[in-house]
Amino acid sequence: MGRVALIYPAARRAELDWLRVLALGLLMIFHSMVGYSSWPWHVNDPHDSALLNGALDFMLRWRVSLVFIVSGAALMLALDRRSPRAILRERSSRLLVPLIFGMIVIIPPQTYLQRVQHGEFHGTFLDYLPHAFTGIYPEGNITWNHLWFIPYVLVLTAVAMPLFLWARSPSMKPRLERYTRLVCDGRLYWILVLPLTLGQAMLLWQGSEDHTFVGDGHGWLEFSSFFVLGGAVAKWPDVLVSIQRERYVSLVVGIVAYGALRQEWPTDPTSAVGTIGWSIVAAINVLAWALTFTGFLTKWFSHRSPVLAYLTEATMPVYVLHQTLIIFVVYHMRSVHLPIPAKIVMTFSFAVLASLALYEIAIRRSKWMRILFGVKPRAEAIGPELLVPNVGGTDTDSVTNRLPGRSS
């Protein structure tokens, strides 16, 4: 390892870097599990396990919120040292390049194995390549799959920039500091339940959460709410302290809300009572678990270390690579007779070790590979501000179990 990547700067927020790394870990656990469940995915080694399906249903409802909290924090902290134009220019280059590269190089093996398993293509990967860029997924093969997070965070960065600059302005500083004390004393961050409730209602109307970008009202409301919360956490550390202090309260609220969601709800989205009731409970659930995990993880993980510096820089390449590696393992494990937990552990372990090995051997030391995978040049490998987190789900994460009246 080079000296720069081993030094963790004192100016960085270690607890938020840890949250970023751990959010990616949760994502990889989720993807390592979903291929072995009865949920439809790119490839499947299906097992009708109520325990596995229940774990996936629980994680699906809140896990993406963590990365948008860190994304908002990243933007707010970046504004400490750079101009908005410089930030937008850097974010565009460090996110759009990996997105395009991923869609051309990393994603085609995923769609190839999916088409082969579903009997939609017969032949080698080389035979498939001429068809890899024909039509838009799911009918065609052009897709960003798990890289869907990148365009969302790019748009949110640009849209939230004026709001964050306004919050940082000298004229607003004393006023917002008073409001911040009020927010912390009154736990007023729970007011995010309001836009999240509207977002959950829109999920009912949409019928699915496919991260279609255009027309994804639910996604935009939910992601922007947590993006703003992340900005507040970064600008006013007392907000994070309050979230940490109330983490057990959030845990209890989350347990009660999730238990309520597992009950039978009216299935007709045109029913006002059913829609409003389910949407409120679902919004409380996602906010409670986002606050719970943010509170516990940032409380438990806040130490600075060379390991954190290394993992922080490796997060983007691992994110880009991990799902292709997981799909490869799930596809080839179909004929292996092992217990489900063993397959999940093997899949997760392979994805972590292989992605880190590729990062260390092929990406970390190459200027051009660093650019392709969205890593800063070596001279500024770990900057003083939190890097933009680029972890997320997949465009095919099922939300069937998130909707009322559906069994898991």
pLDDT at site 12: 82
Task: Please write the tens of the pLDDT for every residue from 180-234.
Answer: 777 777 677 888 999 999 999 888 877 667 777 888 888 999 999 999 999 999 9
CA distance to 22, 73, 103, 136, 369, per residue, from 98 (Å): 21, 21, 8, 19, 10
Q: Is 187 left (phi over 0), alpha (psi -120 to 50) or beta?
A: left
Above 90 in pLDDT, residue 329? yes
Instruction: List the chain domain ranges.
Output: 3-107+144-402
For the chain, count helices (H), then strands (E). Answer: 17, 0
Q: Residue 310 class from Cβ within 10 Å (0-12 exposed, 13-18 middle, 19+ buried)? A: buried
Contact residues for 23 (Cβ-Cβ < 8 A; gap 6+):
63, 66, 67, 70, 389, 391
Phi, psi (rounded to 5 degrees) for 136: -95, 135
- Of 130, 106, 41, 21, nearest in space to 320 by CA: 106
- Of 282, 375, 326, nearest in space to 27 by CA: 326
Q: Which two tokens stand for residue 119?
A: 């009997």
- Provide DSSP, 277-338: HHHHHHHHHHHHHHHHHHHHHHHH-----HHHHHHHHHHHHHHHHHHHHHHHHHHHTTT---
Q: 78 near 71, Cβ under 8 Å?
A: no
Mean residue pLDDT of the chain comes to 87
Q: Which two tokens stand for residue 316?
A: 């983007």
How confident is the model over 174-178, as a mean pLDDT? 76
Range with lowest mean pLDDT among 178-182, 198-202, 307-311, 345-349: 178-182
For the question of whether the overall pTM of this predicted structure is more than 0.95, the answer is no
Task: Please write the tens of the pLDDT for every residue from 35-46.
Answer: 999 999 999 998
**CA separation for the pair 210, 145 (Å, rounded):** 10
**CA separation for the pair 72, 68 (Å, rounded):** 6
Task: Please write the tens of the pLDDT for every residue from 143-156.
Answer: 999 999 999 999 99
Task: Please write the tens of the pLDDT for every residue from 100-145.
Answer: 999 999 999 999 999 999 999 999 999 999 999 999 998 999 999 9
